[in-house]
Structure 1
């Protein structure tokens, strides 16, 4: 029994390495009106819960559950400075401290520890990100993470399963579409959705847009299931829409009164019907005139930033139309793939049409190595 105090001290330092002094700092900045004693008690409860989730015995003569009686209001715990009526102390803490306490836990422990507080159960998630190369063995686990994030009213959800190195046929996670066929009230708090290497259909994206009134940012990359997409609604709050490198993508219609940034790369039939606030565009492909410049002809004059992906080859000649004056354009970037026998002279009119251009960037890639040009010396004449 003599070893118990030392064991508890080691565990306390392991799970709460900065001790009470950290709580004083937090109180001074974020928890005005909450006594240090209250915060200390809450940290004690939190540390005890941590030990409980780890399957370790509490350093008292009764179990944690018995000692608190599931935090019944009539329950007292311990003696001395920890002998106050707990009465769900965690619920009295501000959100900043609750989040800080949760940061010490793994995801599984955070879910299990939520039994300590009714308010903790109702706490919303600000951001939930998953980033690693996908393996099908983790599918059920990831489904559980997504369910957890959605159930907690997550605001920003990011699922990034990009491969760690270039490979043929990278694996993709299939978004659990069935979760959203009914009962969509749980996603109404979503403001940002980012999906990389995720199987997701255009219909599901439209479902998100229809049922997430606060959604402002949508980014999808390397999905093979999107064919057609309709972004349409006078009440849409969507400001940022980028659909990148989706190989089966064929067409998109846009009616978005608040859209400010639009990204679309590939040979995709594009109809921008209404986007009065559009300022930033990233578009292009094999035929940039057909798939980028013409669809945006009504909005070019209001753009402040333009990134164009351009492919120049002997088989597809690039002939730019005559531009109206691009008075608002400040940043222009070309990402050009060309054969070494081709010329970039045809792109000059775009620069000439932007009298107030401040920054120009050219990324040039050749499909073939540059050929060595021989300079023929003229013969001397007598």
Structure 2
């Protein structure tokens, strides 16, 4: 807002100038406001009259420069505009401006975006424990509790009593977003007070994110008419309580549950017409997901609950993670989710190879398969051709293979037999293929050659000899001196490069860009 000129003057927004004398060693410049001393702000006076256009004055300090002032003028704008400008500032800057201007001090009492964590006030030197609690206490005592739209209390340690007091101040009608990371009480969890969700709050709250607390909504809570996104992580809540809450949240669009071990059965009612996204992670006791929401389009599921999704005709994006997943996905998903467009599978281990079946993913365009645990025994990656055969519209394929210490006999370099062939089946839309953790096992080379032969529209093939979990010195801004892991994996990578040069390079059609990511030359 203020522009500093080279001639020692300050150019105000309205074009006027004022002298900007620097006084080295001035006590006023060295001794800032005690609440924000780390910010380096000088002690300043403010206009005595509300309508005064003087924004900043610095009085003389009794030395030879006494009597000189620095005055910066600002446009005479309506108060609500300045309040809006103030609301757009980060919390720390907004607090500092409240120390400089009476007008901003008034708007500070209804500042709408309160975010409290150890990084807000001092990003380079985090504040912990009582220091942060004292700052929050000071702010809450001076805040009217009116006008808060976003409240985030996270990553701090305080008493349950303090937390309840802060929530009572800030959670008022008109609030739109509430994020609460409750402190770990070890012997007990914080009981989120449902009484905070009064009539006015229920009508305005859009986003609710609770972590590490107990939440027990009942039918008496009433409808949350504006709630569109609900996130619960390590929250003690039962399936019946959650179902009651969902039944009263008809505008809900997204539900995310993480490590909520009290939920055994999750039921999503058909009244949730806008509900489109469900994310479940590590809810270990969850046995059944039953959704009647007609417009569910995205499902991210880590675990093994039974799925009852009706026709699931609108489900376009699926991400799943569990062991023995590939066979299940190939066998069951085409019939229960016929319109999938994006499929991301993460399987810890596979006990059988993927079977060839007549069922199809007719709409599937993007397929990702992550295998942090390898196939046992034969390691038959060639069986993944089943997914290609079932996906006539596939455009991109990403395969993440685990880096493991192979036996000498598993490498294709030790085999003189011919590569296996399958009946030609042209994949007309497959354009981009990436294999991360490429190794020289025979079945993976066979899968790669099959793709090169049958993907007639292929544009780019990337073979990355690094494992997906490998930390590279170039990726970590040289925090690590060497790529991790090292040792035996280097031998595996060298075999992979030999296999690429011997069996794959000469099969790459003209017009296809082959990218081979080799071991780091700096470390190896």
Separation (CA, whole Å) in 2 of partners of 1:287 and 1:243: 18
Asked if the contact 1:284–1:309 (Cα under 8 Å) also holds between the matched residues in 2, the reply is yes
Question: Alpha carbons of 1:266 and 1:41: their partners in 2 closer, same or farther (altered >3 Å)?
Answer: closer
Shift of 1:16: 11
Shift of 1:113: 3.6
> Of 193, 196, 201, which aligns to 2:230?
193
Q: Secondary structure at the match of 1:338?
A: coil
Asked if the contact 1:308–1:335 (Cα under 8 Å) also holds between the matched residues in 2, the reply is yes
1:317 equivalenced with 2:352 (yes/no): yes
Q: 1:155: which partner in 2?
A: 206
Asked if the contact 2:360–2:391 (Cα under 8 Å) also holds between the matched residues in 1, the reply is yes
Q: 2:175: which partner in 1?
A: 125
Render the CA deviation track for 1:286-337: whole Å, top value 9, x for unaligned: 3436754555434544211101133544xx3244352544343221111222
Separation (CA, whole Å) in 2 of partners of 1:228 and 1:275: 19
Asked if the contact 1:41–1:89 (Cα under 8 Å) also holds between the matched residues in 2, the reply is no
- Superposition pairs of residues 54-69 of structure 1, within 5 angstroms: none
1:203 equivalenced with 2:240 (yes/no): yes
Question: Alpha carbons of 1:32 and 1:345: their partners in 2 closer, same or farther (altered >3 Å)?
Answer: farther
1:175 equivalenced with 2:210 (yes/no): no
Shift of 1:128: 2.9
Separation (CA, whole Å) in 1 of partners of 2:269 and 2:223: 22
Q: 1:338: which partner in 2?
A: 374
Shift of 1:40: 11
- Superposition pairs of residues 8-157 of structure 1, within 5 angstroms: 10=33, 20=55, 33-34=78-79, 98-99=111-112, 107-109=136-138, 111-115=140-144, 122-130=172-180, 134-136=184-186, 139-140=189-190, 143=192, 152=201, 153-157=204-208
Q: 1:277: which partner in 2?
A: 314
Separation (CA, whole Å) in 1 of partners of 2:85 and 2:392: 63
Q: 1:215: which partner in 2?
A: 252
Separation (CA, whole Å) in 1 of partners of 2:240 and 2:254: 17
Q: Secondary structure at the match of 1:297?
A: helix
Separation (CA, whole Å) in 1 of partners of 2:264 and 2:205: 27
Q: 1:252: which partner in 2?
A: 289
Render the CA deviation track for 1:195-247: whole Å, top value 9, x for unaligned: 23333322222122111122211111222222111222144321110112222
Separation (CA, whole Å) in 2 of partners of 1:323 and 1:302: 16
Q: Secondary structure at the match of 2:296?
A: coil
Q: Secondary structure at the match of 1:236?
A: coil
Separation (CA, whole Å) in 1 of partners of 2:274 and 2:173: 24
Which has the higher mean CA deviation after the structures are superposed, 147-156 or 333-342?
147-156
Asked if the contact 1:323–1:349 (Cα under 8 Å) also holds between the matched residues in 2, the reply is no
TM superposition score normalised by structure 1 = 0.62
Asked if the contact 1:256–1:274 (Cα under 8 Å) also holds between the matched residues in 2, the reply is no
Q: Secondary structure at the match of 1:281?
A: strand
Question: Alpha carbons of 1:258 and 1:348: their partners in 2 closer, same or farther (altered >3 Å)?
Answer: same
Shift of 1:261: 0.4
Render the CA deviation track for 1:40-73: whole Å, top value 9, x for unaligned: 999xxxxxxx99xxxxxxxxxxxxxxxxxxxxxx
Separation (CA, whole Å) in 2 of partners of 1:111 and 1:182: 31
Separation (CA, whole Å) in 1 of partners of 2:316 and 2:85: 51
Question: Alpha carbons of 1:215 and 1:376: their partners in 2 closer, same or farther (altered >3 Å)?
Answer: closer
Q: Secondary structure at the match of 2:401?
A: strand
Which has the higher mean CA deviation after the structures are superposed, 328-337 or 98-107?
98-107
TM superposition score normalised by structure 2 = 0.47
Separation (CA, whole Å) in 1 of partners of 2:406 and 2:206: 50
Shift of 1:350: 0.9
- Superposition pairs of residues 296-375 of structure 1, within 5 angstroms: 296-298=333-335, 300-313=337-350, 316-320=351-355, 322-336=357-371, 337-341=373-377, 342-365=379-402, 369-373=405-409, 375=414
Q: 1:65: which partner in 2?
A: none
Separation (CA, whole Å) in 1 of partners of 2:145 and 2:314: 47
User: Unmatched 5+ residue regions in structure 2?
Assistant: 1-27, 45-54, 57-73, 88-94, 122-134, 149-169, 417-524
Render the CA deviation track for 1:97-144: whole Å, top value 9, x for unaligned: 83258889955455444447599874533333345884527844x746
